Amino acid sequence: MTSPLRHLLVATDFSAASEQAVERAMQLARVQGAAVTLLHVVPASLWEDARGLLAGVLDVASPEALLLQQATRLQRRADELAADSGLQVTQQVRYGRPAAELAAAAAALQADLLVVGAHGAHPIREVTVGTTAQKLLRISPCPVLVVKRAPAGFYRCALAGTDFSTPSAAALALARTIAPTAALHLLHAFELPYDGMMRHAGVEETTAAQYQALARERLMLDLDGWATAQGVAPGARTLHVSHGYAATQVETWVRKLGADLVAIGAHGKSEIEVTFLGSVSLHTVMSAPCDVLLQRGSATV
C-alpha cells in the first residue's frame, strides 16, 4: 500500500530550474490533494559577500529588507498557484544557509516530500561549495525530489534501484505514490567480492562470466521475492539484475529505459565519506538526465 502525500515543501529561488520544481510539485499536489508550502531562503553567505564587496560603493539592502521584499514576491506566486489549483498554498521566507533552512522547515512542517530544482540561481557558487540538493542528501528529514526537467505530463517510466535495504523499500513505495501510472522497473546492481582477485589472477573471461551468471540468477530470485514482499505484483514490474558498480548501472539503465524518474535510497553518508568513497545517490543526482527521488536512511550505501 502507498500512502498519500499531505504536505509538499518546495524550494524556490525564482530561477527557471526552481520554477520547474514548483510546477512538478503542483502537479503532484493536485493528484494527492496535498497542501503546498513555497520556501525561499535568502542566502546568508551571498548577502555577506555582497556587503563586503560593495560596501562604500552601493547601498546593500539589509537581510530584513531582503526578507520583506522576497516575501512579497513569493506571496504573489503562492496566490497565483492557489487560485489556479484550488489548493492550499502558503509561503515562507528564511535567512541563512539554504540547505540547513530547508531541512529545518521540512522538519517544522512535517513535510512528506521536499521538492527542489537541480540548479539554482547561482550556478558558479554551487560548483565551488556544492549544490543545495547535494547537501540535502545528508540532512533532509524527509524524502527529496530533485527536479531536472520541465514537467511534460505525469511520469511515464520509473526506475527504482534497490540493495534490498529499508531506505530502498521506502523509495520504491514513494515512487509508486508519485508515479502510480508509470511503467515500473526494479534494478539491483551487484559486484562479486572476488571480481578483482579473479582479474589479477588472470582468470579467463568466460570463467568470470559463469560466476557472474550464477550470481545474477540467484539475485534475480532474491529481487523477485523482495518485489513481491513490497506489494508489487508480478504484472506491474520489470526486474533487472546487472553486474557492475551500482551508480554506473543506475545511470546506464536510466538512459536505456528512457526513464523520467529514478528512485533510490540515499544512505546519509558524511561529507568526508562522500568525498573519499563516493555515493550512489550523489552520483545519480549529478548524472541522471531525469528527476531523482531520494529516500534517506541510516544504512551504508
Number of domains in the chain: 2
Q: Which structural domain range is residue 49 located in?
A: 7-147
Residues 200 and 110 in one domain: no
How buried is 110 (Cβ within 10 angstroms: 0-12 exposed, 13-18 middle, 19+ buried)? Answer: exposed
Q: What is the 3-state secondary structure (H, E, C) of 81-121?
A: HHHHHCCCEEEEEEEECHHHHHHHHHHHHCCCEEEEECCCC
Residues 171 and 119 in one domain: no
Which SS3 state, helix, strand or coil, does residue 120 take? coil
Residues 123 and 245 in one domain: no
Q: What is the pLDDT along the chain (301 residues), one digit of tens a residue?
A: 467 899 999 999 999 989 999 999 999 999 999 999 999 998 876 555 444 444 444 455 566 777 888 899 999 999 999 999 999 999 999 999 999 999 999 999 999 999 999 865 444 334 333 467 778 878 899 999 999 999 989 999 999 999 999 999 999 999 999 999 999 999 999 987 765 555 555 556 777 788 889 999 999 999 999 999 999 999 999 999 999 989 999 999 999 999 999 999 876 555 544 444 457 888 888 889 999 999 976 433 2
Structure-block grid coordinates of residue 49: 559577500
Give the separation between CA 23 and CA 21, rounded to whole angstroms. 5
Quick check: is 78 in a domain?
A: yes
Quick check: is 1 in a domain?
A: no
Instruction: Compute how many other C-beta atoms are within 10 angstroms of the C-beta atom of residue 211.
Output: 15
Quick check: is 25 in a domain?
A: yes
Quick check: is 2 in a domain?
A: no
Quick check: is 279 in a domain?
A: yes
Quick check: is 152 in a domain?
A: no
Question: Residue 53 is part of a domain; what is its CATH number?
Answer: 3.40.50.620
Quick check: is 215 in a domain?
A: yes
Residues 168 and 51 in one domain: no
Structure-block grid coordinates of residue 151: 514537467
Quick check: is 301 in a domain?
A: no
φ, ψ for residue 296 (rounded to 5)?
Answer: -75, 155
Q: For the whole model, what pTM was predicted?
A: 0.85
